[in-house]
Amino acid sequence: MITLRAAELVRADLPLVRPFRTSFGVQELREAVLVRVVCDVEGVEAEGWGECVAGSDPFYSAEWGLGAWVLLREVLLPMLAEEPLTTIEDTPAAMSEVRGNRMAKAAAEMAITDAALRARGVSLKAYLGGERDRVECGVSIGIMDSPDDLVAAVGTYLGDGYTRIKCKIEPEADVAFIAAVRETFPDIALTVDANAAYTLADADLLARLDAFDLDYIEQPLAEEELMEHAALARLIETPICLDETIVSAKSAEDAIALGACEVINIKQGRVGGLAEASWTHDVCVEHEIPVWCGGMLETGLGRAANLALASLPGFTMPGDTSPSSRYFHEDITAPFEMAPDGTIAVPTGPGLGVAPLPGIMARVVAEREKVEL
């Protein structure tokens, strides 16, 4: 039995080491909404932490940090405290009355999972059935001012050891930019992410990317456009990878059945938590769809969860699992570091295997609120 005894919301503001420009805006600060819980786990009291992946505004996803904060405070955390959970896997069902809001639910689930696993001395990797000890690091590069700037940035990241380069694209910053990268680096694993910046009417333009031997094009069209992605897949050769569209294991199943994607990016926050993420992984494995772990500029807490997830056997492509230094001068946990071979170690300690460092939290916490359960 897991009983939620206390909960607190914490916002940590971490400046990014460099601005991250995408088709939906420029981000310079990660305002991370964190959930801290204290649970009674079979008589043992344990603390747990979760991170909400939502951003500072509702421009990338419908969910955003402030909305998640209010929902967690007013609805989700009190709901989870109503009665004890029999197992960790009961957590999503205990919140199922609330529609959508998957990123907020995932944050609560991560905190409870962390607490329960800490009490039991089990790592998240072991709990999820992870197999890898180390995970390959890809990097996601924001839109640059010119093809030359992008080539320079790619060169720097390759020098750091990243094993796959993903470039954000948008109309006017696409074919010429990627042509320059491919010409300079003929052999690298290269992908692009459009964050829904195109429509099916752009199919001819997107087909020009076929010349660059991309591993995939990520989320070219709007998140609801399952049929249009299936239609686009018939018009271009580059495999389509879906990100924003995949919000559950069921939606992955539908997308695969429709031929809307050949690759899937799994983000635990986007699908409503770690349990749903592992079910989504299972669907992809069953259908032989390669998966990789997405990123949401998470602090070390969310990063630890991503690494544990990425250690599952179906995660066969390098993901956006970059080390802490890619994002922050100072992370809130002990920093995740990339080895020269471009890999990062999956945490092995109980729960997430990392926790916020009080000295750093004292500098970056912008807001804290106790939740009335």
CB of 53 to ligand SMG, least distance (A): 8
User: For ligand SMG, what does the binding mask look like between residues 338 and 367, x meaning CB under 6 A?
Assistant: ------------------------------
Residue type, 9: L
Q: Which one of the spans 222-230, 271-279, 292-300, 351-359 is the region binding ligand SMG (CB under 6 A)?
A: 292-300
Of these partners, ligand SMG, Mg ion, none, which one is at the site of residue 22 (CB under 5 to 8 Å by kind)? Answer: ligand SMG
| 86 DSSP assignment | S
Residue closer to ligand SMG by CB (options 46, 64) is 64
**What is the residue type of 1?**
M
Is residue 243 within the footprint of Mg ion (CB under 5 A)?
yes
The one of ligand SMG, Mg ion, none whose footprint includes residue 324, by CB under 5 to 8 A per kind, is none
Please, what is the end-to-end C-alpha distance for the chain in angstroms?
Answer: 18
Which span sits near Mg ion by CB under 5 A: 46-54, 122-130, 212-220, 309-317? Answer: 212-220
Q: Is position 170 an interface residue for Mg ion (rule: CB under 5 A)?
A: no
* Binder among 31, 170, 174, 193 for Mg ion (CB under 5 A): 193
- Name which of 29, 75, 69, 26 is nearest 50 in CA terms: 69
Strand (E) or helix (H) holding 253: helix 249-258
**Residue from 290, 274, 315, 283 nearest 134 by CA:** 315
Binding mask 204-233 for ligand SMG (x = CB under 6 A): ------------------------------
Q: Which does 273 bind (CB under 5 to 8 A by kind): Mg ion, ligand SMG, none?
A: none
Cα 108-109-112 angle, rounded to 5 deg = 90
How many angstroms separate the CA atoms of 110 and 350, rounded? 13
Residue 140 interacts with ligand SMG (CB under 6 A): yes or no = yes
CB of 245 to Mg ion, least distance (A): 10
DSSP 275-330: HHHHHHHHHHHHTT--EEE---S--HHHHHHHHHHHTSTTB-S-BS---GGGTBSS
The span of 77-85, 91-99, 172-180, 295-303 binding ligand SMG (CB under 6 A) equals 295-303
Least distance between ligand SMG and beta carbon 269 (Å): 10
In order of 53, 93, 297, 327, 343, the CA distances from 320 in angstroms are: 14, 29, 9, 11, 12
Collapse the DSSP code of 47 into the 3-class scheme (helix H, G, I; strand E, B; otherwise coil) and give the result. strand
Q: Which of 51, 114, 215, 320 binds ligand SMG (CB under 6 A)?
A: 320
Piece of the chain touching ligand SMG by CB under 6 A; list 34-42, 86-94, 246-254, 293-301: 293-301
Cα distance between residue 373 and residue 363, in whole Å: 28
CB of 79 to Mg ion, least distance (A): 30
Among 322, 324, 333, 343, binds ligand SMG (CB under 6 A): 322
Phi-psi region of 309 (alpha: psi -120 to 50; beta: other; left: phi over 0): alpha
Whole-angstrom distance, CA of residue 51 vs CA of residue 54: 9
Q: Is residue 245 part of the contact set for ligand SMG (CB under 6 A)?
A: no
d(CA 344, CA 337): 6
Nearer to ligand SMG, 101 or 321 (CB): 321
Please, are residues 233 and 261 in contact by the beta-carbon 8 Å criterion?
yes
The reply on whether position 311 binds ligand SMG by CB under 6 A is no
Q: Which stretch binds Mg ion (CB under 5 A): 191-199, 203-211, 253-261, 363-371?
A: 191-199
Positions marked catalytic? 168, 267
CA count, 13 A, side-chain hemisphere, 66: 3
Give 22 or 123: the residue with its C-beta nearer to ligand SMG. Answer: 22
114 is a site residue for Mg ion (CB under 5 A):
no
Q: Where along the sequence are the contacts to ligand SMG (CB under 6 A)?
A: 22, 27, 55, 60, 140, 193, 195, 243, 294-297, 320, 322
Q: Where along the sequence are the contacts to Mg ion (CB under 5 A)?
A: 193, 218, 243
